[in-house]
Structure 1
């Protein structure tokens, strides 16, 4: 039985693991929360408690425990899915320390010496700057946020390693399940960029695209993954708020709108993926 390891069984990783189990695959899943281990086990996911240190101290107990967990987590797996958020918005995390880059760098030696042949890295369209206009996978990213900058650096670290094949999956804004877009901006005022296009993707399509990549063996690729649905921020979020009977957001039209539009043609034409939730 083919085994897949999912590093990060959270909002996306957990239902993804369940979908892969339905395909008859064996799944190792990680969490940083002790309380969640029993939940993973109840879903027939082999549970692992893994919190990647950003400071590597070879002799420390933390590093010894991490090394043991990672070796077991990756053992026998053909594919590793990395789905952990950068978490760089907290003021307590100094941006210049590149904490997320260090964590991904810490993983690579373990991947190299494991049975893993393929890595799928869940990235984000934040690697593109808001002023880059219409972008696709051939566009050179110009990230503006710290999260986007570190994600792009992590992409490069993984892709440049020839010991395994890496596919990069850049998701747009994630919605679905408990993430209702109508709640995001409801009642807020003086919102900028009313005419900028939205670049979102539903959880169901996130999972569907990952399944398609694995089934089709599309490795050493980069994909932008967003729905082919790009209304303006104002029209979209106003309608979603109205659908939930929430106060409408109010936008500032005094300045020109800026915002990128993410093309997804490669997902459709190369991967041959059909969106299940095209109109969000």
Structure 2
């Protein structure tokens, strides 16, 4: 039985693990939370408590470690799926708020810590879950041929991590750049409900449903599509004002109010390569 390791069994990683089990794979799954171990085990996933940490000493990121049995987590796996978010919006744990440059490349450094363990393991293929935040809004239409020029810290670190993994000759890495994630229990309109003066009402949305995220990953594994880069966004792009207003109505929420006095700025992410190279058909259109 082919084994796959998933680093990060969260909102996407857990249902992905269950889908892989349903397709005949054996799955090692990691979490950073002790309380989630039993849930993983009860789902048929081999659970591991894995945490990559960067500790600060006098405001400097100079100590690094992995807690947990990372070697056992990777043992006998042919594929590693890395699905952990950068989480760069706040201070890194253990860092003082005034530590100069404390967040610089923290995510990149965490993945760099993992790489020697991957190199000496049985893993031949890595699937890195990235984001379309590696693109800015300079180009109206974006494909995989568009040169990424991120303008956010998260986007910059994701792009550098992509390059770090794809340049490694010990394993093959496919990068999967998801747009905004939505699902039955994840609707971004809830954060916009009742808010006023929202910018970019006419900008296109670039969202993807959890079910298509999982379907695309299964297709990559099935087709052995390694050393690739894919944008993954549903092929329908209504405007922000149209989409979020309708979703607020559907969910009986207070309507968001948009500012139409300024020009809207936004890109359209195209995912045609998903359909042509993988032969994948999206099941969840965004309307």
Q: Which TM bucket (shorter chain)?
A: over 0.9
2:117 and 2:262 map into 1 onto residues whose CA distance is: 49
Q: Does 1:83 align with 2:83?
A: yes
Q: What's the offset of the Cα at 1:276?
A: 1.0
Residues 22-78 of structure 1: CA deviation (Å, up to 9, x unaligned):
011100000000010111001110000001123599xxx983x63x61101000000
Q: Any conservation in 1 of the 2:175–2:229 contact (CA below 8 Å)?
A: yes
Could you give the per-residue CA deviations for residues 199-247 of structure 1, whole angstroms, max 9, x where no partner exists?
A: 0000000000000000000000000000001010000000100111111
In structure 2, the residue corresponding to 1:107 is in which secondary structure? Answer: helix
CA contact (8 A) 1:213 1:219 kept: yes
| Total equivalences in the alignment | 275
Q: Which structure has greater strand proportion?
A: 2
- Match in the other structure for 2:275: 268
User: What is the Cα deviation at residue 264 of structure 1?
Assistant: 0.4
Question: Distance between the aligned counterparts of 1:181 and 1:97, measured in 2?
Answer: 28
Residues 1-280 of structure 1 mapped to structure 2, 5 A cutoff:
1-54=1-54, 63=65, 66=67, 69-91=69-91, 94=101, 96-280=103-287
Contact 1:181-1:240 at 8 Å conserved across structures: no
* Secondary structure of the structure 2 residue equivalent to 1:269: helix
Tell whether the 8 Å contact from 1:54 to 1:106 is kept in structure 2 after alignment.
no
Q: 2:98 is matched with which residue?
A: none
Structure 1 gaps, min length 5: none
Contact 2:80 2:123 in 1 (8 A): yes
Larger deviation, residues 197-206 vs 90-99? 90-99
Mapped to 2, the partners of 1:270 and 1:194 lie a distance apart of 33
Q: How far apart, CA to CA, are the structure 1 residues paired with 2:219 and 2:37?
A: 28
Alpha-carbon shift at residue 160 of structure 1 (Å): 0.2
Q: Displacement, 1:129?
A: 0.5
The separation in 2 between residues aligned to 1:264 and 1:162, in whole angstroms, is: 27
Please state which structure has a larger fraction of its residues in helix: 1
Runs of 4+ in 1 over 3 A off after TM superposition: 91-96
Task: Tell me the CA shift for residue 132 of structure 1.
Answer: 2.5
Q: TM-score scaled to structure 2, two decimals?
A: 0.92
RMSD: 1.8
